Amino acid sequence: MQDRYRYENPGNPFINIIAGTLLTLLGTFLLVATIFGSSFEDYYINTTATVINYTYDDNNLNSEVLEYTVDDTVYESSLNDYDDILLDIGSSVSIMYNPDNPEEILPSDYKSDDISLLLFSVVFILLGLLLIITSIRRIKRSYKILNNLN
């Protein structure tokens, strides 16, 4: 009989509502930034580079050292893609470079990982809404139990 009138302490649901609101806002911001923001593909400029050497690190991974020209300046950079198959020295490869810093390069077939950001944003939004909804339900349930006790 005593269990019937047990008071359920919801903790501090107002803090949960604030946390849920912050998660929802963060997820919404990420979603909007991912959908409407610019990506590397929009900003970087395509060019052709020539393989001039290889690099190796402690783990024996390697990548090609590329040479390319931007505005009459010759640059050397490595893609750091660590392919198992290296291109021959003298081979041409398509790359994209950052116009503000031409030493920053990406493969021309690079695609940003927008799907992951979309998934993270949706997860944040759903978790935030779930936290808000469950906190409001706990508050309502607690008030209902308190009113039944009186």
Mind listing the pLDDT tens digit for each residue in 48-104?
898 888 777 676 667 778 899 898 889 888 876 655 667 778 888 888 888 888 888
Residues 54 and 99 occupy one common structural domain: yes
Query: Does 67 lie in the same domain as 79?
Result: yes
Q: At what angle do helices 114-149 and 13-36 cross, to 10 degrees?
A: 160
Query: Is residue 57 domain-shared with residue 97, that is, in the same domain?
Result: yes
* Pair (130, 91) in one structural domain: no
Q: Which domain holds residue 143?
A: 3-37+113-149
The pLDDT of residue 3: 53
At 23, the pLDDT band (50, 70, 90 cuts) reads very high
Per-residue pLDDT, averaged over 23-52, amounts to: 82
- Residue 26 is encoded by which pair of tokens? 């963060």
Do 31 and 47 lie in a common domain? no
Residue 10 banded pLDDT, cuts 50, 70, 90:
low
pTM for the full predicted model = 0.51
DSSP annotation string for the chain: -TGGGPPP----HHHHHHHHHHHHHHHHHHHHHHHHS--HHHHSEEEEEEEEEEEE-TT--EEEEEEEEETTEEEEEE-----SSPPPTT-EEEEEEETTEEEEEEETT----HHHHHHHHHHHHHHHHHHHHHHHHHHHHHHHHHHHH-
| 9 and 47 together in one domain | no
Average pLDDT of the chain is 80
Do residues 94 and 62 both lie within one domain? yes
| Pair 45, 95 in one domain | yes
Q: pLDDT (tens digit, 9 = 90+) per residue, 102-115? A: 888 877 776 666 67
44, 65: one domain? yes
Domain count within the chain = 2
Instruction: Give the model's pLDDT for residue 19.
Output: 92
